[in-house]
Amino acid sequence: MAGAEQHGSFIEQLANYISIGMPPLQLDGTLVIQIANLLILMFILQRFLFKPVRSVLEERDAIIKGHLDEAKSAQDKSEAALRMMEGEIAQTKQKAAAALSDLRQQGMAEQIKIVETAKEQGKLLIEKSVKEIEKSASEAKAILLKDAEGIASEISAKILGSTKTKKERPIRV
C-alpha cells in the first residue's frame, strides 16, 4: 500500500502543480547531481559524438573542396589548351592564306612571263616573216627588172628594126 499512497500523492502533487502553475524551485542535492550528469553527458557527447562527426564533416568538406579545385584546375587547363589550339588554328589559317597568296602571285608572274615570251616569240616570228617577205620581194623585183630589161631590149630591137637574132628569154617564176 505504500506504493498506492505514493502513487496517490504523486497524482495529488501533479494536480496541485497543474492548478497553481509551476512549483517553486527547490535547491537540493539532486539539482547538483543533475547538473553534474548534464555536464558529464555533454563532455561524453562532445568527445565521442560531436568531435568525430565534425571531423568527418570537415574531411568530407576538404575532399569536396579538393575535387572542386582539381575540377577547376582541369577546366582552366582545358580552356588554356583550347585557346592555344584556336591560336594555332588562326596562325595556320594565316599561313595558308599567305601561301595561297604567294602561289597566286607566282602563278600571275608565271602567266605574265609566258605571255611576254609568247609576245616576244610572235614579234620575232613576224620580224622573220617580214624579212623573208622583203627578201622575196627584192628577189622578185630583181627578176622583174631583168625581165623588164630583156623585154625592153626586144621591144627596142623590133622598133629599131634590128636584125639581130632573137634570143629566147628564160621564163622565171
pLDDT per position as a tens digit, 111-156: 999 999 999 999 999 999 999 999 999 988 889 888 888 888 888 8
Domain count, the chain: 1
Predicted confidence (pLDDT) per residue in 157-172, tens digit: 888 885 554 455 555 5
- Would residue 76 count as lying in a domain? yes
**Which residue's entry shows cell 631590149?**
153
Which stretch of DSSP H or E encloses residue 108?
A: helix 51-160
Q: Is residue 141 part of a domain?
A: no
Verdict on whether the full-model pTM lies above 0.85: no
Report CA dihedral (104, 106, 107, 108) to the nearest 10 degrees.
90
Instruction: Grade residue 100 by pLDDT with cuts at 50, 70 and 90.
Output: very high
Residue 5: inside a domain, yes or no? no
Who wins on pLDDT, 143 or 18?
143
Residue 55 within any structural domain of the chain: yes
pLDDT for the residue numbered 12 = 79
* Residue 79 belongs to some domain of the structure: yes
**59/54 Cα distance (integer angstroms):** 8
Are the C-beta atoms of residues 153 and 169 closer than 8 Å to each other?
no
User: Which residues are within 8 A (CB) of 143 and not within 5 positions of it... i.e. 6 or more apart?
Assistant: 172
pLDDT value of position 156: 86
Looking at the domain assignment, is residue 13 inside a domain? no
Specify whether the backbone of 117 is left (phi greater than 0), alpha (psi in -120 to 50) or beta.
alpha
Mean pLDDT across the chain: 85
Spatial separation of the C-alpha atoms in residues 149 and 167, rounded to whole Å: 13
Q: Print the domain residue range for 33.
A: 26-132
Checking if the pLDDT of 1 tops 50, the result is no
* Pairwise CA distance, residues 9 & 1, whole Å: 12
Instruction: Give a yes or no: residue 44 inside a domain.
Output: yes
Say which DSSP state 21 is in: -
List, for residues 28-67, the tens digit of each pLDDT value. Answer: 778 889 999 999 999 999 999 999 999 999 999 999 999 9
- Whether residue 96 is contained in a domain is answered as yes
